[in-house]
Amino acid sequence: MTGTLSGKAALVTGGSRGIGAAIVRRLADEGAAVAFTYSAAEEPARALASQIESKGGRVLALRADSADPQAVRQAVDAAAQAFGGLHVLVNNAGILVHGLVDDYDIADFDRMVAVNVRAPFVAVQAVLRHMGEGGRIVNIGSVVADRIGFPGASVYGMTKGAVRSLTQGLARDLGPRGITVNAVEPGPTATDMAPQDGPLRDKLASAMALGRLGRDSEIAGMVAYLAGPDAGFVTGAGLTIDGGYLA
């Protein structure tokens, strides 16, 4: 495997399924050695690792709950130790718990903030021990930072708005070190959160200028660009990839 990321090492959090798995595959296809975390989906994680290894790639699957700061730190350190450093960090792990404000469970609120906001910050803190000039950090946000579009997603939208603000602040903090920090903000995409068929899919597709949901491979393509050499002057950006959902 040779490509734009040949000789680089990456860590993708929440990489066993959906958009995360597509990102892992794309970075590996571009030549990177890729570690990824997973929480409970052990079988998909093993299958993904086997798929990449069968194509000659270097891959490492790490079990880590993103709600646990120490587990996040240990995963970063394990990936860096296995690969001799890290050049790319993709904070992809995220959860969505729907609910209206009047009866929303505070435990769900706390877990959403822990996984969607605190974990990326902890991962960035940890990776800086292993990442030098030219490093790339990509946070996976969402278009709900701009438009919720449906009831019951206020907390999720809040967390993704925080991801965008965090991205901008980190870009300022880390720019002097030659490390870029950007957010990729997908619109409705065909994953576990947004099924590829049924009434929900039809409703979401009707809101898109292109009349369809996004593909996880398309999101991965934008991440690969930000991780690669052509994006060296892109930092602090929130790059929307939404099929015209916000148009």
Average pLDDT over residues 154-160: 98
Asked whether the CA dihedral 131, 174, 28, 73 is positive or negative, the reply is: positive
Q: Check 38, 104, 156, 225 and give the catalytic one.
A: 156
Domain count, the chain: 1
Predicted structure pTM score:
0.95
What is the edge-to-edge ordering of all strands in the sheet holding 59-63?
59-63, 33-38, 9-12, 88-91, 136-140, 180-186, 238-241
Residue 1, domain member (yes or no) = no
Is there a domain that residue 4 lies in?
no
The Cα–Cα gap between 82 and 78 comes to: 6
pLDDT digits (tens, 9 = 90+) for 199-227: 677 888 888 999 999 999 999 999 999 99
- Whether 62 shows a pLDDT value over 80: the answer reads yes
Residue 246 lies in a domain: no
* Mean pLDDT computed over 162-189: 97
Whether residue 3 is contained in a domain is answered as no
Sorting pLDDT into bands at 50, 70 and 90, what band is 197?
low
- When pLDDT is averaged across residues 52-76 and rounded to a whole number, the result is 98
| Domain coverage including residue 216 | 9-241
Give a yes or no: residue 2 inside a domain. no
Tell me the per-residue pLDDT of 88-136, one tens digit each, with 9 for 90 and over: 999 999 999 999 999 999 999 999 999 999 999 999 999 999 999 999 9
DSSP helix/strand/coil, 97: coil
Per-residue pLDDT band at 149 (split at 50, 70, 90): confident
Residue 151, SS3?
coil
CATH code where residue 183 lies: 3.40.50.720
Task: Give percent of the chain with pLDDT exceeding 90.
Answer: 90
Question: Tokens 């860590």 label which residue?
Answer: 11
- Sequence letter at residue 217: S
Return the pLDDT at 191. Answer: 80
Is the pLDDT at 194 greater than 60? The verdict is: no
Residue-wise burial string across 201-233, b where 16 or more C-beta atoms lie within 10 A, e elsewhere: beebbebbeeeebbbbeebbebbbbbbbeebee
Annotation says 156 is catalytic: yes
